Amino acid sequence: MTLKEYFDWFKQDWAKAGLLISIFLFAFLFVIVKDSDFVLFLLLLQTPLYLLHEAEEYIFPGGFGKFFNMDIMKFETPDKPLDENFIFMINIVLIWIILPTFGLLSARNYEYGLWLPYFSFFAGVSHIALGIKARKRYNAGLVVSLLLNIPVGAWSVLYLVNQGLLPNIFLNPHFFIGLGFNLALPVIGLVKYKQHLRTLAA
């Protein structure tokens, strides 16, 4: 396969690849990291947790893009304005690059990754908010949010506070960084919404 063919495959099946990677990362973290550095374990854990989150959003059962376009933005097109290219790029940059990079930097200094549990927690809460807005009991990503992202994120924050790594739950910069990344996503969505409206009007 050529490099372009590999990229085309990855672009099509990145969420499936992420599911397999998450299984490997869980095994690695629980076997190698957990007992040697539990704080680092918690910070690195947020990446495979979110890869599972993506698997629910885009594989089993999938359909988060359609849900966001039709139930949140109220368009009749399941693949516009959030199309496959946008979904791919935002997930690769944020979840595949930024999260693991800051997790790995935490091996040098915990300060780099103390925002990661907040990000995971707020990402889970956002699915509850989306469900309320759409008036639907389920949206792709909600189950992992309720069972993993929210409880593990919240417990991790409480553990970090008890260890003295965070001064308190709310008044620290890591809270606002994790919240800020999550708030940036609807802002980006709003930009795509307006761009799509201009395209329709043209």
Per-domain boundaries in the chain: 3-201
Residue 132 burial (C-beta neighbours within 10 Å; 0-12, 13-18, 19+):
exposed
The Cα–Cα gap between 56 and 124 comes to 12
Please state, as a whole number, how many other Cβ atoms lie within 10 Å of the Cβ of residue 91.
19
In this prediction, residue 129 has a pLDDT band, given cuts at 50, 70 and 90, of very high
Is a pLDDT exceeding 70 seen at residue 202?
no
| Res 121: pLDDT | 98
In this prediction, residue 157 has a pLDDT band, given cuts at 50, 70 and 90, of very high
Residue that wins the pLDDT comparison between 38 and 75:
38
The Cα–Cα gap between 173 and 62 comes to 33
The average confidence (pLDDT) of the chain is: 94
Dihedral in degrees, nearest 10, Cα atoms 126, 103, 42, 152: 10
Is a pLDDT exceeding 90 seen at residue 191?
no
The Cα–Cα gap between 170 and 22 comes to 29
User: Distances in Å between the alpha carbon of 130 and those of 82, 84, 135, 182, 192?
Assistant: 15, 20, 8, 13, 17
Q: Phi, psi at residue 75, to the nearest 5°? A: -95, 160
| Res 89: pLDDT | 94
| Res 25: pLDDT | 97
One-character DSSP codes across 128-185: HHHHHHHT-S--TTHHHIIIIIHHHHHHHHHHHHHTTSSSSSSSSHHHHHHHHHHHHH
| Res 176: pLDDT | 97
